[in-house]
Every structure is written in C-alpha cells, then in structure tokens.
Amino acid sequence: MNKAKASSEKSVSASSRTISLLSQLEKINSDSVLGESDSARHVTSRILHLVQSQEKTRKEMTSKGSTGIEIILSTLENTRDPQTILNILNILIEIVSVGGGRRASVLVTKGGTQILLQLLLTASKDSPPNEELMVLLHTLLAKVGPKDKKIGVKARINGVLNISLNLVKHNLQNHRLVLPCLQVLRVYSTNSVNAVSLGKNGVVELMFKIIGPFSKRNTSLMKVALDTLAALLKSKTNARRAVDRGYVQALITIYVDWHRHDSRHRYMLIRKGVLQCIKSVTNIKLGRKAFIDANGMKILYNTSQECLAVRTLDPLVNTSSLIMRKCFPKNRLPLPTIKSAFHFQLPVIPASGPVAQLYNLPPDVDDVVDESDDNDDAETESEIETEIDDDKDQHFKNDDIETDINKLKPRQELGRSIEELKMYEQFFPELSENFQEWDLVSKEPKPFVPDANLSGPIVVPTASEEHSAEAKPSTKGIALKECSPLLTEEYNRRPVFLELPKKDNMKSSSLHQQNDQRNMLPSCQCLSQEIVKGLDRISLQNSAKNDQYYGTGCVVEKESKAGITTLASSKPFEHVSPCGGSLFEGSSVQLGKLCCTGVDSEEEEDSRSSSSGEHATLQISDVSPVHDCDLYLEMVKNTKSIPEYSEVAYPDYFGHIPPPFKEPILERRYGVQRTKICQDIERLIYQNDIIDRVVYDLDNSSFSVPEEADVLKFNSKFESGNLRKVIQIRKNEYDLILNSDINSNHYHQWFYFEVSGMKTGIGYRFNIINCEKSNSQFNYGMQPLMYSVQEALRCRPCWTRVGTDICYYKNHFSRSSIAAGGQKGKSYYTITFTVTFQHKEDVCYFAYHYPYTYSTLKMHLRKLESMHNPQQIYFRHDVLCKTLAGNSCPLVTITAMPESNYYEHIYQFRNRPYIFLSARVHPGETNASWVMKGTLEYLMSNSPNAQSLRESYIFKIIPMLNPDGVINGNHRCSLSGEDLNRQWQNPNPDLHPTIYHAKGLLQYLAAIKRLPLVYCDYHGHSRKKNVFMYGCSIKETMWHTSVNAASCDLMEDPAYRALPKILSHTAPAFCMGSCSFVVEKSKESTARVVVWREIGVQRSYTMESTLCGCDQGKYKRGQ
C-alpha cells in the first residue's frame, strides 16, 4: 500500500504538492489541536525541501494571488515549536534570497517585518538564546529590512534595538552570529533616532573594536562593520563622539594600512568602506578640523595619486576627492567686498527686495565665512556625471505651479488710465499716417485685394530656405542695391575684413575705385610689419583737440566736432601700405598698437597661403553688411557707462565673421575634473609652490600692470567687459574673479576680458572662481570663446571656441548665508579651461558667449535705417525712454509701405495685426541679441517671405530692454540691482523705466483694442541645449498638479501651440520637446506671464536659445 501511495505522489505535479502542503498547513493553523506540532513540523519540512530544490515553487509562493506567504507567516506567528520556526525561517530565506527585492517586498507587504521583530523579542528572553534561531532571524531581517522604510521605527517601538547590539557585544568571536547581527544594525542605523540611541549604548566603540588593528582575517565581517559604522556616523551625535575619542586619526591609520598591504587590490571594498566612514564623520565641522589636524589632506592626496594608475580604483580616488574637497577650509573671496566694484546711486531705494537687503547689510557681513555643521555644500559631483538639469521650467515643483484657476484665467487689467496711456500714442504714428507726402511705389489708385496672409499662418523663415533660394540676393541687395552685377562681383572679392561699406552715402564710382585698388593687393598681408607693430589698443578719450587719421603715408587733420571721441596713438606711421590707408581711410580716429609684435615673420608664408585658401571660401554674405568701424566709434562716444570706459575692445570695433569650419561639442576627457580638483588641493598641501600674486585689480585704482615678460596682462575696461581681479597662482595658472552686477553682490556668470603678453607652446590655465549656478553646459561640451587680434590681421576675424580640460565644479570659496540672502547654497563654482595660444605676444579676448554691446546695437540700427528702401519698407526708430544711466532704449517699427495712398491700401496698412518682440532683458544672454539681429535683418531683407511678413504684420520691437546692464558687463540685472524680468507686474518708472514703458506700449494697444497677435521675449539658456519656447496654458498648468482635471473643464484655444509647432517643423535647432506651457508662481512677474494674464495676449512666449549647441537635427553635436 505504501508503494501505491508513493507512485501516486510521483504522478502529482510539484505545483499540486505545494498547494496540497499549504492547505494542510492552513488546516493545522485553524484547528490548533494539541499534538499537531509534529504535523506542522513535517509539513514545513516538506515545503522547505520543495523550496530548496525547485525555483518554480519559490515563484509560486510569491506570485500574485497566492496565499502561500500569508499561510507561512501565520504559522510562524502562532507556532511555538522550535523546529517548525526554524523550518519556516529557512523557507523565507530561500524565497527572498533570489528574485531580487520584489519577493522581499511581498514579505513586507504581508506584515512579515512585524512578525519577525516580535519573534526576535520572544527569542531574546530565552537564556541562553538559541543561536541557530538568532542567526536565521537576523539573516532574514537583513534581507527584508532594506525593503521596509519603517523598519527602524518598528524596531524601536518593539524594543528590539539593543537585542542585536547585545548579541554582538557578548559574541565577538562568534563570527557566524555577529555577521547577520551587524547587517541588521546597519539597517536600523539608517534611522537617525535609532543611530543616536545605539550610539548611547556604545555601538560606535564596538565597531572600532571589530575594524580595529589591520588584519586580513574575517574580511567579510570587517566590510559589514565598516558599512554599519558609516551609517552610524551620519548622526552628528555619533560623529562628535567619534571625534572626541580620536577615531578620525584611527580611521586614517586603518586606511593607510589597508592601502599599503593591499598591493593586489583585492580588498577595495574594505578600503572604500573606511573612506565612507571618514566621509560621514567629516560632515561636521569638528570632524573636518580633526581630519585636517591628522594631516588627512596630504595622506588622502598621496594615496589617491598612487591609485590613479589603476582604473578599477577610481571609486577610491573619487571618494578621496570628495572628502578632500569637503575638508578644504572654506575661504572668502580675496576681495574687499563681494558687492560690485562699481557703485551707482539709485534715485529711489526699494522698500523691500534684494536691493533693500543689500543696502541694509551690516558692514563687512560679506566677509563672514559660514562653516556650519549643516554642511549644505558637502555634496559634490562624481567623475562620471549625469546631466543635472535643475532648470525649474522643465522639472516642476508642485508647490511652485499656480493652481488657482482665477489667477490663471487671463483678465485684461490695464492698471493705468486711458489719459495716462495717451502718452504712448506718439509711438504709433502708423495708425494715423495718411502717406500723402510720401514717395510711394505707386500713387495711382489700384483695385484693393484683401491680403491673403492677413489671417493666415505666420510664415517662419529658415536658414535652409534662405540659402537655397533667396538668401544671397536679399542679403546683398540691402547693402548693394545701387551696385551693378560687375560691382557686386568685385565687392565679393575684397578682403574679408574690408567688406564693410564705410559711408552710408557711398557712390558707385567710389566703390568701383576702392574695389579696383583693393583687388590689386595680393592678400590680407598687405598690412605691413610697420603698421602692425605700431598698432595699439583702441582707446577713447573726450578731447577738444583736432582728430587725426592716417591716409597713405601722411597725417590728415580734420576739424573736430564738439565732444568727439578720439583714439590715442604713440606716434604716426612712417610707412603705410595702400591697404593700410584704405582700411582706415575716411576714419576720424587714431589707431595705436593693436598687437605688440604684429604678424609673426616666421608664420607669414604659412599664414599667407592658409588665409588665401580660406579667403576663397568666404563670401560677402558671411560678413554682416551692417558693421561699420567708424560708425561704431561714433556710437560709443554717446554710450554712458558707470566706470566711464575709455577703451574699445578690438572685436567690437573691427567686427567678426563666422569661422569657416564647424565647431563640434567638445568631448570631455575622462578624469579631467578629478585632475583639476587635485591641483586645487595641492594649493593647501604645497603652499610654498603657490605664487599668489595679484596681476589685475579693479578695486585698486592705483594698481599698475606687471611689466614682467612671463606674466599675462589682463584688461576688462571696455563696454560689456567683466573681469574684476586676477591672481597668478602658478607660473601659467591664474584665478579670475568676476564682478557682481551693479547694486548687487551676486550674479556672476558673464565674462569678457582681454589677455596679452602670452607665449606660444604653453598651456595657460584660467580658473573663474566665483560662478554661482549649480551646473553649466561647460560640463557637457561647451567651450569659451576667444578672439585673436593676430588672426584678425590675417583676415580671420573670428570668435572661435577654444580650451581643453574644461569643467565646472564646486570650489572652496563661499559667502555667508546672510550675504547670500538666506540661500542654502553658499559655495561658489569654478569654470576652468586651458588655452595654448597660437601667436606670441598676441592680444586675445575671451567671452562667455559672442559679445553684443549696446553700441553695436545702435550701429546696426543706424545702418539698417540708412540701407533700407523707404519706398518698400516702413522703418521707424524711436527712443522709448531713457535708462537710469541716461542711455536711450530703442524702439523699432517695421512693416511694408502701402502700395499707394489710396484709401483701401492705407486702411489695410493701418489694420495689420501687431507682432511685439523684445530681447536682452538679461545682459549675459548675448545670444538673444544675435537672434534679434537676425530677426531685424531678415525683416528688412528683400526675401519674398520677409516681404510677405511685412505686408501682413506691423512689428514693434524693443531689441534691448536692459541697455545699462549690457554696457556695464552685468549678467542679469539692471543698475537697480534687480532682475528686470521679475518687475513686469508692478514696474517702478524710476527704477525700471524700460519695463514700465514697454508694458505701457502693450497697455496702450490693449486700450485701443489692438492687442498684439504675438508677444515674444528673446532669452538665452545656460543649462539646456537647442532653441525652445515657454508659453502659457491653463489646462497644461493644471495637468501638472494634483488638482482634479474637472476643475479646469473649460474651453481653451490651442492656438498658443501654433507658433512653436511651426518652428519645430521649419527650424532645425528648435526642439518642441523642450517647450513648456506651464505657469508657475515664481514666474508670475515675468514678461511672458504678465503679457498673457494682464494684457490678454494669448500667444505670449519666452524664446530660449542655447548658449552651447544642439543635441538634435542637422546641428546635432555642434556648438
């Protein structure tokens, strides 16, 4: 009969057997009959056998819908039989040992943690406790614990915290029992309250007994003990206890012992565990001091340098680097004050806000370095970084999203009376102009045909369309509309840096004559050595003397106008080539030495051949037809700066062309950031090697530039320049400090400065040490820009991306939380890059992005005004208002002239919809101005698409909302020390005149029922790639909140997405995926939101253009 029974059991599947056994076990639990312990022991033993031998059984027990775990746990909770308990614990260990954390999570959700803790408490009352039971219980708790976020609280409530600790104390030599107990203590210690409680009971001292003198025995136990200690030391109380007992020195000694004896790198996890303990204990100020006192910086530096050769030891090097950076003593910036070096007295001091706080700061408060135990600056980047895009526009915080529908619904609120708004009527003469006195294309009345484009889609041009069809004719047509085809061909062959019309009233005959003369010259090398050696930096000074300029070998004096700005020169040129004369002919300036040694003689031949090769590929379309050197100087003389700049940067005077090659995003070399950080740490360890010499200082008016030949010379005293101080650290390494925005003590990001006195073949390292943003595209392939005067004299006047070993990281300089306005992030960041110069004694300019000055804008507007065809294009240039410094804020109107002064044509002209554009509210976002420049030139071009746009719309454009900030080298603010793009809700006419009047223009249009069809504010983005837009939508805002979607069940015209969609299909650099239409509370006072909400413009946008490059489309991987 037994044989028959055995054969029948074999025929039953394993699944059926498991179900059968679980059913039997469930019945035993429900019956609770005395003497059933043997049956439970027998059943659990058979289940254990199945679980150990078959993975299918383990899966079935934890599958969805299975009650296997509940039955097992119920049995464990109710049984008192020791063998049954051991069987069940072994079953659960087998189940959770494989299959990842999912099975452990199932056990937690079924209440397993609580049952295990209760069993531990019961078992601990036995004297002595059952060792096998304790081992199994702790083993299971160590596996389940990490999946139960509340296990620390549960352990404390159940009173089992010290059970594991006491087991370790009394069984130190029993490694089989101690190991799982330590694993459970590690889990408990993730709860800070538990860590403190365990610390009071001597757990820290106990851990040091285990990890104590170096020994390669029981390394698995030591590894767990180190992990447990690292978790315990995250508690400040435990960390202080460790410091008081001298354990920081002990940890360093243990690490050095393992470093020396682990020559084959088999125990890297133990070495990393020791470093993790050091990292935890140095989170407090006492720990960092103890680390420094124990010579920890030098020890970790030396050990990490020895590990660099072995790639697998990178985790040790990276952790050592984090510890050293954290323990590097915090220093204040080497400045008398972190407030701007320039002061501007405001007409009104705001009652609140950052400027009011700045004016109310106690003396020298920004000299305080805050090294609190909170150590908010402890976190640092790892070597293999992932892109942290902390832009709030994309990664929304729920508490920042506006959830009040009443606030989200646009409501037209003019805020000013109609009578007051009438002051803006003068800026809209096109609404009343009858054109009776204008010389129109045709004065004969023509049948009126309604413009099909009037209500049609907005036509958005693209670069590809222009180049393939109309670009060249339209671009040249603006500048050379008077020229014959032969003259145009001749003009194209002129040297690149001469392809600029010198005077607005240039005649064709004079152009022919000049072109013929220039075409006889062999190349741009016509600038002789004598000219170049005599050139100096262009400087401006108000003078009543006569202006001089140099013609062909002679000095010509011209009658000076009042207040004209002249250029300083040391001596006249004795030998000037014809090319040199033509370059400066007609100029009202003097030119001194632009380059100390001029064109290097040994490079002349190569340069001549290379420049001629590149020259052949450069057409006039590459050079902006609106740049005029003489006109630029005329514009500069009326530009008012706070420092009263007297110099002009060569790139701004001379202009530039795009480089004749693509500039890909820089591939970052592995380990570069780690190397730079190690070099910074060397400053503390080897202080005698540091020069620490100031070589440029705006704060010291009597400072003189060093004369030594091996020291670089710096300068930033020109429009839009920003460089405050330079300190030579090593022979070829310099720390650079940027100037704060005026009337502010922060916003450091924009830089623009001049460097000279360099040598070739030497890598110069530049560290800009007071940046503030937590991340930058410099970590992801962006390079700074450099303009070489030597290259410009070789017909290559280009801003090019340069620099190697580029990275952006947190440094050891900081400011107090008071000076930071209560901000948590008190540390500064470093941009570091290395440059090897091509030419000896060159003069080079570095910039964060392509500079675009206020004087450049004025020059461009003047040229556009003089070059347009008044019979076809209605162009008007007004002054909207004066800024705080007295500079003019330009307002431009562009549309097409009516076909005639016939009534229907005038009517169509006056009733064209408005498009309102603005740019450059943030001075450091220079790319916004370049996008605006392209917009203006396109709208003024002869392209059929541009003509269609002009005939369909009236464009009101404010190309620079923050002239003062641009002029004075600010990054974000105006002279008021405030971000103007946060003042649109309630602009102050005295402090924010450009915003007050820009909003007034829009309010006036709303008052006369002529709301713009589109408002778009151009910006630049420093942490994201591509071009994208931010708009405003009620529904899309609500979708990002927890508010019920039904609460915003309203009709919303999706037209706000139309323009971004058009751009995504026509512009290769535009990324629809980066666009957002969410309205946030923190952005409620920006132009985009206010124009949408208060003015009522549905299509109100911020257009962001990357400062780096693209990661999609035809421009992918390019800068």
Q: Helix (H, G, I), strand (E, B), or coil: what is residue 1050? A: coil
Active site residue 1104: yes
Cα 649 from Cα 670, distance rounded (Å): 36
Instruction: Check: CB of residue 868 under 8 Å from CB of residue 481.
Output: no
Strands (E), 924-976: 954-958
- Among residues 835, 789, 464, which one has the least CA distance to residue 656? 789
Instruction: Check: CB of residue 259 under 8 Å from CB of residue 351.
Output: no
| Secondary element (H or E) of residue 944 | helix 944-952
Torsion of CA 316, 776, 821, 745, to 10 degrees: 120
Go through the chain and tell me how many residues it has.
1119
Radius of gyration of the chain (CA): 37
Q: Which amino acid is at 713?
A: K
Question: What tokens does 562 get?
Answer: 């009042």
Using CA atoms, how far residue 972 sits from 557, 808, 809, 977, 1099, in Å, is 43, 20, 21, 9, 25
Cα 428 from Cα 382, distance rounded (Å): 56
| Given 381, 499, 1080, 1104, the catalytic residue | 1104
Question: What tokens does 1055 get?
Answer: 């037209």
Cα 391 from Cα 1074, distance rounded (Å): 11
DSSP per-residue codes, 542-582:
E-SSPEEEE-SSSEEEEPPPTT-EEE--SS--S---HHHHH
Rounded to the nearest 5 percent, the helix, strand and coil shares of the chain are 45, 15, 40
Cα 920 from Cα 928, distance rounded (Å): 6
- Residue with token string 């971000």: 979
Instruction: Give residue 666's Cα distance to chain centre.
Output: 16
Question: What tokens does 459 get?
Answer: 């036509």
Cα 1054 from Cα 1034, distance rounded (Å): 11
Number of neighbouring beta carbons within 10 Å of residue 904: 16
Written in H, E and C, the secondary structure of 132-198 is: HHHHHHHHHHHHHHHHCCCHHHHHHHCCCHHHHHHHHHHCCCCHHHHHHHHHHHHHHCCCHHHHHHH
Instruction: Give residue 581's Cα distance to chain centre.
Output: 46
Which pairing describes strands 752-756 and 843-847: parallel, antiparallel, or unpaired? antiparallel
Instruction: Give residue 130's Cα distance to chain centre.
Output: 59
Instruction: Check: CB of residue 232 under 8 Å from CB of residue 207.
Output: yes
- Among residues 538, 540, 631, which one has the least CA distance to residue 859? 631
DSSP per-residue codes, 222-247:
HHHHHHHHHHHTTSHHHHHHHHHTTH
Q: Which residues are catalytic?
A: 1104
